[in-house]
Chain A
């Protein structure tokens, strides 16, 4: 479904991503783990068209994304929940969710999906008229996820959804991710919380300073000694 070949990203003199190959098949949860600064967000930003690759190709369902604008990439069915949530403060929860469906014209479908988001995240319905900035961190994460789901994505990119959340909320977020996946959305999950990420992933890639250093099934990597040492605290 998503195929990345020899991706290179440069920020001026900084060579952040150095020739990465990565694939996500339809129906999978794939996770990309790595320490802070490894380049995880850069890869997601390149997929979404927010940064341009200096070399290499990204293709989605057979179409190259290299020359496609961010808004058209989202139209093709890729939504991203960015690191740090990036909800629209000063706008209500409902307005945030509506912006998720910005590209859509099917009023009836939008209404149904809003209902589905409210069912998945009942707190958002309670807070729908409230300024999104007043939500707690966990609620903002749910809003960011709900907003992305309003676009009805085929592929959902999640950038560190567990960041800064209490353990109980982390578990809740992960169970929601599994649930979204079960209902037919393919997921590419970026995490520093390797233990949780590997436990839900079909396949995983380990990223270190802009290079993929390991890949395999979630189980394989969770069992690997190197991964345990570096990312699972033992």
Chain B
């Protein structure tokens, strides 16, 4: 039982990272129906920005997270304006291929400037362990869980209560009707990219702290898993991405411990296949017919 609870904590920590990244996938998909395959690389950029902020600017962890979030927000907005906006009326496959192109561009630009190798993320936290009821929780895990919880509450507040959040939901439902309300759709899309990318940026720094290493290709697999998490929870549905991320993180961790760490990745893809077969709209997704 203690082992199970311990693995649950580990799984939730990993799942928090997936959830933060999955939110960006789901929000962007919700508003422009684009699967932004470059999103995992925004997370990678966030990790590097955090790294540089700590090593070069000598700031502490929290300022580093903020700097990474802001930089990624700007990056996300710029990518949308340059790469995706001109394709707003193009076929989905065109945008998808463009997103893959942006993803590769980010990876190789980062390699060019920072090298292809793995870098060690600076030690910014004392690695204390908190022992509690037989469980041991590291300070990095507490940081991840706490930061994720805070960011999710903040996101819920923005989406539910603020004007920009209501505009985001309105544009997701019906962009033309939103225009008739006087909502600036382009600006709303920019805000969505900014918020989604900022969350990924925070996740990047957190993962640097957690695993101690970062690399230009670090976003590929977690990006894919976060995407699966978003689909699992119901793409376009914000609570779905939160739930999906945590679920995938816990599932992967449990399988790794109780079964075999060799197949823990495979399990994530099996989950994707199962959900697509059984409930393609995702666990929390509504079975709505696509509008024509």
The residues of A with any CB-CB pair to B shorter than 8 Å are 48-50, 69-71, 74-75, 79-80, 82, 86-91, 95, 98-100, 102-103, 147-148, 151
Closest to A144 in B: B177
- Looking at the complex, which one of B163, B174, B183 makes contact with A86 (CB distance below 8 Å)? B174
Most chain B CB atoms below 10 A, which of A71, A74, A79, A82: A71
- Looking at the complex, which one of A49, A50, A69, A99 makes contact with B166 (CB distance below 8 Å)? A99
B272 within 8 A of A: no
Q: Is the CB–CB distance between A91 and B169 below 8 Å?
A: yes
Closest 8 CB pairs of A and B: A103-B182, A86-B177, A74-B182, A70-B179, A71-B182, A88-B173, A99-B181, A102-B181
Q: Is the CB–CB distance between B182 and A102 below 8 Å?
A: yes
Q: Is the CB–CB distance between A102 and B177 below 8 Å?
A: no
B177 cross-chain contacts in A, Cβ below 8 A: 82, 86-88
Q: Is the CB–CB distance between B181 and A100 below 8 Å?
A: yes
Q: Is the CB–CB distance between B166 and A95 below 8 Å?
A: yes
> Which of chain B's residues 163-188 have a Cβ closer than 8 Å to chain A?
163, 166-167, 169-170, 173-174, 176-184
Closest CB in chain B relative to A154 CB, distance in Å: 14
- Looking at the complex, which one of B163, B169, B174, B176 makes contact with A102 (CB distance below 8 Å)? B163
The residues of B with any CB-CB pair to A shorter than 8 Å are 163, 166-167, 169-170, 173-174, 176-184
Q: In the complex, A86→B177 CA distance in Å?
A: 6
A99 cross-chain contacts in B, Cβ below 8 A: 166-167, 170, 178, 181, 183
Q: Is the CB–CB distance between B166 and A98 below 8 Å?
A: yes
Closest to A81 in B: B180
Q: In the complex, A98→B173 CA distance in Å?
A: 15
Closest CB in chain A relative to B284 CB, distance in Å: 12
A/B interface sample: 13 pairs, CB < 8 A? A70-B182, A71-B182, A82-B177, A88-B177, A99-B170, A99-B181, A99-B183, A102-B166, A102-B167, A103-B181, A103-B182, A151-B181, A151-B182
Closest CB in chain B relative to A49 CB, distance in Å: 7
B179 cross-chain contacts in A, Cβ below 8 A: 48-50, 70-71, 74
Closest CB in chain A relative to B281 CB, distance in Å: 13
Q: With contacts A71-B179, A71-B182, A87-B177 known, what are 5 further pairs, Cβ within 8 A?
A: A49-B179, A80-B180, A102-B167, A147-B181, A151-B181
Closest to A80 in B: B180
Closest to B160 in A: A95
Q: Is the CB–CB distance between A91 and B182 below 8 Å?
A: no
B166 cross-chain contacts in A, Cβ below 8 A: 91, 95, 98-99, 102
Q: Is the CB–CB distance between B182 and A82 below 8 Å?
A: no
With A49-B179, A102-B163, A102-B167 as contacts: A71 and B173 at CB distance below 8 Å: no
- Looking at the complex, which one of A48, A89, A91, A95 makes contact with B180 (CB distance below 8 Å)? A48
A102 cross-chain contacts in B, Cβ below 8 A: 163, 166-167, 181-183
A49 cross-chain contacts in B, Cβ below 8 A: 179
Q: In the complex, A147→B177 CA distance in Å?
A: 11
With A99-B166, A102-B163 as contacts: A79 and B180 at CB distance below 8 Å: yes
Closest to A88 in B: B173
Q: In the complex, A70→B173 CA distance in Å?
A: 18
A87 cross-chain contacts in B, Cβ below 8 A: 177
Closest CB in chain A relative to B191 CB, distance in Å: 14
Q: Is the CB–CB distance between A90 and B169 below 8 Å?
A: yes
Closest to A74 in B: B182
Q: In the complex, A80→B174 CA distance in Å?
A: 14
A100 cross-chain contacts in B, Cβ below 8 A: 181
Most chain B CB atoms below 10 A, which of A79, A89, A98, A102: A102
Q: Is the CB–CB distance between A75 and B182 below 8 Å?
A: yes
Q: In the complex, A151→B179 CA distance in Å?
A: 13
B183 cross-chain contacts in A, Cβ below 8 A: 71, 99, 102
Q: In the complex, A228→B233 CA distance in Å?
A: 56
With A82-B176, A82-B177, A102-B163 as contacts: A88 and B182 at CB distance below 8 Å: no
Q: Is the CB–CB distance between B180 and A88 below 8 Å?
A: no
Closest CB in chain A relative to B129 CB, distance in Å: 44
Closest to A96 in B: B170
Q: In the complex, A37→B177 CA distance in Å?
A: 21
Q: Is the CB–CB distance between B170 and A50 below 8 Å?
A: no
Q: Is the CB–CB distance between B176 and A88 below 8 Å?
A: no
A70 cross-chain contacts in B, Cβ below 8 A: 179-180, 182
B176 cross-chain contacts in A, Cβ below 8 A: 50, 82, 86
With A49-B179, A50-B179 as contacts: A71 and B184 at CB distance below 8 Å: yes
Closest CB in chain A relative to B234 CB, distance in Å: 12
Closest to A103 in B: B182
Closest CB in chain B relative to A195 CB, distance in Å: 28
Closest to B288 in A: A89
Q: Is the CB–CB distance between A50 and B173 below 8 Å?
A: no
